[in-house]
Amino acid sequence: MSSEAAKKQPRTLYDKVFDAHVVHKDPSGSYLLYIDRHLVHEVTSPQAFEGLRNAGRTVRRPDCTLATVDHNIPTDSRKNFKSISTFIKQGDSRLQVETLEQNVKRYNIPFFGMTDTRQGIVHIVGPEQGFTLPGTTVVCGDSHTSTHGAFGALAFGIGTSEVEHVLATQTIIQARSKNMRIRIEGDLEPGITSKDLVLHVIHVIGTAGGTGCVIEFAGKAIRNLSMEARMSICNMSIEAGARAGMIQPDERTFEYVKGRPLAPRGAEWEKALAYWKTLYSDEGAKFDREVVIQAKDITPTVTWGNSPQDALPITGKVPDPATIEDPSAKSSCIAALEYMGLKPNTPLKDIYVDKIFIGSCTNSRIEDLREAARVARGHHIAKNIKRALVVPGSGAIKKEAEEEGLDKIFKDAGFEWREAGCSMCLGMNPDILDPYERCASTSNRNFRGRQGALSRTHLMSPAMAAATAILGHFSDIRDFDYIDSVDKPKLPLSSAEELERLQIEKRELDEDLAEPAAPHDGVDDNAKVAEEISSEQSKDGKSSGMEKFVTLTSVAAPLTKENIDTDAIIPKQFLKTIKRTGLRKGLFYESRFAKDANGKMVPTDFVLNVDPYTHAKILVVTGKNFGCGSSREHAPWALKDFGIRSIIAPSFGDIFYNNSFKNGLLPIRLPQEVIEKKLYPLAVAKKELTVDLPNQQIKGPDGSVLVDNFDVEDFRKHCLLNGLDDIGITLQKVKFIDDYEKIRKSKFSFLEGGSKRLISPVREVNKSIHGAKESEW
Ligand SMILES: CC(C)[C@H](C(=O)O)[C@@H](O)C(=O)O
Ligand code: SF4
C-alpha cells in the first residue's frame, strides 16, 4: 500500500500525531520521530548534558526546550531567598539544582529558576505557559510527561540517555505503540472527580493494563471534564502501564491554550486551530483494545495497598487475603497489608492518618486547590493530624490562589501553605513522612518507601484529602459538611460517640500491629548514603557508554513478585547524583538492607545478598510488569553496576525496557509459564543459564536450548551486538532531520520560536497567567 493510500485509511488520534512527526523510517521498522517540545528538570538531565559535553555535541533546538527545577527544592518560604547555596541545605539536592543552572546557561536554554514566579513542577509549567500545544510531540525525562496528552499531544517519559539524544538531535527513536481506547460513558455523579475516575480505571485494567499502548480517553464523561481534570487523568496513564494517554483536543482545549504566553497568536493561531481541529480518531479507526466504563459506577476512591491498582470505593473495606484464590495476588495482598499496617475487613472510613499532602503534578492545579479549600473553609484540621501540606504546582498557581484568598482559608484551617515543587510526592526534598506514618495524598504513586522510608501512602482526590485532614480519618466526600460561608457556625465533624468508637478501634489496631522501634531513614541517612555514592563514583566523569552484548553465562537470581517498580529497584535518595555510576549499593536498597537492633543498616537475606547470586548477571522474574513506574534510568544503571546484564520477565514497564537497551542491558520478554516451568527452577537450583543474543536463544547448563528465537527488535539487537551509540547513528541521518525541519517551518510555522519567546528572567508577575499580556512575561 502506498503511504498516500495508508494515510487515507481511518486513523486514530495517536496515529495522526505519530505520522506527522516521522523524520525517517528505518528498514528494521523503527522510526525516527521529531520532538516539538522537550521539558527538562534537574534530576534526569545532568548525565545527559555531561554526555553531550564529553562528545563535543551541542543542543540542536534550545527554542524547543524548556527547563525548570522541581524535585529537589525545599518548599519553605522564599521571602528571604538569597542564593541556592544558602537556601538548599541538602548538599546533593543543591548540586543537582546548581548543575542544571550551569547547563542551561551553557546551552542557552530557557529556564525557570527559583527566583522566577513561573517555576514549578515541569508538567504544570508546560501547559501553563502554552509550551504544550495540541498535536505536538512532548518528551521529558520523567514518567508523568503523559500529562500533556490531555491536549491531544503525543507525550511520554524518557530516560536520561534519550534526554541526551533529544538534546543532540531533537528526535527520538521509537517503535509504534498499540492503540487502546477507554470510553467513559454517561455522566459522573456529583462529588466524583477525575482522580476517582482514573483510580477506578487503573483498578479495572490493572497497572499493566496499558502496557505497550497509547490510551485514548474518550466518551461523554471525558468530554465534560475541564482541562485540569483531563491532565490529572492523562498524568496517571503511566500508572496504568501505558506509553502515553491522549484526549482529543476540542473547544475547551483551544479556550485553555488561547492567550497563554507561548501560544500562537493572530494568523498563526488561526492556522494552528485549523490543524488542531483535524486531530481526532476517524470513524472506523482500529483500536487494538477497547474498554468501556460506565461513569455512574465510579464512586469516591482511595487506595489501600502499594500499587495504584489497589483502589477501592470509600464505602468498601480493606481486602481480606483469605478470600483471594490466586496465590500471587494473595501473597501480594498479605505483604501490602503488613507494610501498610492494615487489618483485613477494616472499613476504609475507619482509617486514621498522620499527615496530609495536597500537591504533585496530578493534583496541584488551581481547580484542585479550589476544591480542597472549599472543604477546608471554616473547619480546622483534626487533632491527630501532625502536618497538612498544601503545595501549589507552580509559582503562578500559588499567586492565583493567593489572589482568590485560598491561602488564607487553608492557613485558618491549620494547613501549611508552601512554595511550588514536587515536595512530598516523592520526598527528594525535606518534605517526607517518618517511618510508619500514614498519609492521605493527592499524588500518583503509593509505592513502598515513596514518601519516606517505611511510609504509608493512600492516594485520593484533593477534596477527599482535605476532608481527611478535617476529620482525621477517611470519609465519603459526598457526606461532608461543607461550610460555604465562614460566618456559619462550625458543624460537628462527627458525633462524639462515633469519634470515640473510631479512636478505640484505632488504638486496638495500633496495639495489634505493635511495631519494632522505628528506624529513621530520613534526610540525614539519605545524605549519608549519597555521600557514600559520590565517593564510590568514578572521577573521570565520562558517561558509561554502551557496552557490547553478545552472549552471557551466569547463575540467574530468581524473583517472584509482580509490578516491581523502579522506586523499588532504586529508591529516590539515590537519584540525587549527577553521575551514572556508583549505584550498586542503592539497588533494591529497601529489600537488601534493614536496620539491626543497634540501628545499623545490615544486609538482609534478599536473594542478591545470598551466594552465588551476589555474582548473578541474569535476573529471572516470574511476575509481570518489571520496572514499571518512574522513568529513572538509575534503575538500569544500578542493575548494571551490580553486574546484571539481562533480565527475563513476562513484561516490562515501557520506559525501563527502553532504558535498559541504552545501557547495554538485554531485557527479554517471555510467556510467564515458560519462565515458571523452564527457567525459574534452574535459577532456584543455582544452575547457570546462557543468553545467546546472536541466535536469540536461552540455553541450560548442559547447552540444551530452553528458549528459541526470543523476541528482540532488529535495530536494538544490532546496537547491542555492536555496542553502538544511538546518537551517533541518528546524527548520520542529519539530512533527514534538516529536511523535516524545513517542512515543519512552513507547515507548522506556529511551533517556531517555542520557548525562546519567553521573556526572562521574570521575578514578579502581576497578572494571572491567563490573559496576561505578552510584554508582562
Ligand atoms: C525523577 C523522575 C525520574 C521520576 C519519574 O520519572 O517519574 C519522578 O518524577 C517520580 O515521580 O518518580
Ligand atoms: S510524580 Fe511527583 S515527583 Fe514525579 S514529577 Fe510528578 S510531582 Fe514530581
Question: What average pLDDT score do residues 147-153 get?
Answer: 98
Domains 3-296+731-758 and 546-724 fall in the same CATH topology: no
Tell me the per-residue pLDDT of 214-262, one tens digit each, with 9 for 90 and over: 999 999 999 999 999 999 999 999 999 999 999 999 999 999 999 999 9
Which ligand 1 atom lies nearest to the CA of residue 157? 6
Grid coordinates of 169: 538531535
* Whether the bond into 761 is cis, omega within 30 of 0: yes
Indicate whether residue 654 lines ligand 1 (CB < 6 A): no
Q: Which pLDDT belongs to residue 503?
A: 54
In 277-394, alpha helices (H): 327-340, 366-376
Tell me the per-residue pLDDT of 26-80, one tens digit each, with 9 for 90 and over: 988 899 999 999 999 999 999 999 999 999 999 999 999 999 999 999 999 999 9
Q: Please report how many Cα atoms fall inside a 13 Å half-sphere around the Cα of residue 284, on the Cβ side.
A: 3
**Helices 227-235 + 194-205 axis angle, to 10:** 30
Q: Which pLDDT belongs to residue 612?
A: 98
Indicate whether residue 12 lines ligand 1 (CB < 6 A): no
Q: Which pLDDT belongs to residue 8?
A: 77
Tell me the per-residue pLDDT of 17-29, one tens digit each, with 9 for 90 and over: 999 999 999 988 8
Q: Looking at domain 546-724, what is its CATH homologous superfamily?
A: Aconitase, domain 4 (3.20.19.10)
Count the Cβ atoms, other than its own, within 10 Å of residue 747: 12
Which ligand 2 atom lies nearest to the CA of residue 123? 5
Tell me the per-residue pLDDT of 280-296, one tens digit each, with 9 for 90 and over: 999 999 999 999 999 99
Q: What whole-number percentage of the chain has pLDDT above 90? A: 86
Indicate whether residue 575 lines ligand 1 (CB < 6 A): yes
Residue 43 and residue 124 in contact, taking contact as beta carbons nearer than 8 Å: no
Three-class SS string for 555-582?
Answer: EEEEECCCCCEHHHHCCHHHHCCCCCCC
Count the Cβ atoms, other than its own, within 10 Å of residue 516: 10
Give the residue whose CA is nearest to atom 5 of ligand 1. Answer: 630
Q: Which ligand is nearest to the CA of 156?
A: 1
Tell me the per-residue pLDDT of 345-365, one tens digit each, with 9 for 90 and over: 999 999 999 999 999 999 999
Give, for ligand 1, the residue of 122, 140, 143, 363 to mutate: max count of ligand atoms closer than 8 Å to Cβ: 143
What is the rounded distance in angstroms from the CA atom of residue 158 to the CA atom of residue 714?
21
Give, for ligand 1, the residue of 42, 47, 70, 71 to mutate: max count of ligand atoms closer than 8 Å to Cβ: 71
Indicate whether residue 208 lines ligand 2 (CB < 6 A): no
Q: Which pLDDT belongs to residue 3?
A: 56
What is the rounded distance in angstroms from the CA atom of residue 215 to the CA atom of residue 207?
13
**Helices 122-129 + 395-404 axis angle, to 10:** 70
Lowest mean pLDDT among 403-412, 518-527, 722-731: 518-527
pLDDT of residue 505 exceeding 80, the answer is: no
Which ligand 1 atom lies nearest to the CA of residue 566? 12
Indicate whether residue 364 lines ligand 2 (CB < 6 A): no
Among the listed residues 507, 469, 414, 422, the one whose alpha carbon sits nearest the alpha carbon of residue 122: 422
Q: Which pLDDT belongs to residue 756?
A: 86
Predicted complex ipTM = 0.99
pLDDT of residue 565 exceeding 90, the answer is: yes
**Hey, CA dihedral for 116, 117, 121, 126, is it positive or negative?**
negative
Indicate whether residue 630 lines ligand 1 (CB < 6 A): yes
Note the Cα 399 to chain centre separation in Å: 26
Q: Which pLDDT belongs to residue 497?
A: 54
Model confidence at 316, pLDDT cuts 50, 70, 90, reads: very high
What is the rounded distance in angstroms from the CA atom of residue 524 to the CA atom of residue 434?
12
In the chain, % helix, strand, coil (3-state, to 5) comes to 40, 15, 45
Residue 178 and residue 286 in contact, taking contact as beta carbons nearer than 8 Å: no
Question: What average pLDDT score do residues 759-774 get?
Answer: 41
Which ligand 1 atom lies nearest to the CA of residue 422? 9
User: What long-range pairs does 604-608 form, CB within 8 A, spacing at least 24?
Assistant: 607/557, 607/558, 607/559, 608/557, 608/642
Tell me the per-residue pLDDT of 132-145, one tens digit each, with 9 for 90 and over: 999 999 999 999 99
Give, for ligand 2, the residue of 444, 455, 457, 576 to mutate: max count of ligand atoms closer than 8 Å to Cβ: 444
Domain segments of the chain: what residues? 3-296+731-758, 303-317+332-481, 546-724
Lowest mean pLDDT among 418-427, 721-730, 755-764: 755-764
pLDDT of residue 299 exceeding 70, the answer is: yes
User: Domain 3-296+731-758 falls in which CATH fold?
Assistant: Aconitase; domain 3 (3.30.499)
Which ligand 1 atom lies nearest to the CA of residue 445? 11
Among the listed residues 264, 45, 251, the one whose alpha carbon sits nearest the alpha carbon of residue 160: 45
Residues 262-272 as b or e (16 or more Cβ within 10 Å = b): bbbeeebbeeb
Question: What average pLDDT score do residues 662-688 get?
Answer: 97
Grid coordinates of 128: 501553563
Model confidence at 501, pLDDT cuts 50, 70, 90, reads: low
Q: Where are the beta strands (DSSP E) in 431-544?
A: 438-441, 456-459
Which ligand 2 atom lies nearest to the CA of residue 70? 8
Tell me the per-residue pLDDT of 510-541, one tens digit each, with 9 for 90 and over: 454 443 333 333 333 444 444 443 444 333 33
Give, for ligand 1, the residue of 632, 633, 634, 637 to mutate: max count of ligand atoms closer than 8 Å to Cβ: 632
Give me the residue label for grid cell 515458571. Answer: 676
How many angstroms separate the alpha carbon of residue 126 from the centre of ligand 2? Answer: 14
Tell me the per-residue pLDDT of 477-500, one tens digit each, with 9 for 90 and over: 999 999 976 554 443 344 445 545
| Count of helix runs (H) and strand runs (E) in the chain | 28, 28
Indicate whether residue 143 lines ligand 1 (CB < 6 A): yes
Give, for ligand 2, the residue of 443, 445, 576 to mutate: max count of ligand atoms closer than 8 Å to Cβ: 443
Indicate whether residue 340 lines ligand 1 (CB < 6 A): no
What is the rounded distance in angstroms from the CA atom of residue 243 to the CA atom of residue 43?
21
Q: Which pLDDT belongs to residue 522?
A: 36
3-state secondary structure of 450: coil
Indicate whether residue 71 lines ligand 1 (CB < 6 A): yes
Grid coordinates of 42: 534537574
Q: Which pLDDT belongs to residue 25?
A: 95
Give the residue whose CA is nearest to atom 8 of ligand 2. Answer: 422
CATH class of 303-317+332-481: alpha beta
Q: Which pLDDT belongs to residue 414?
A: 98
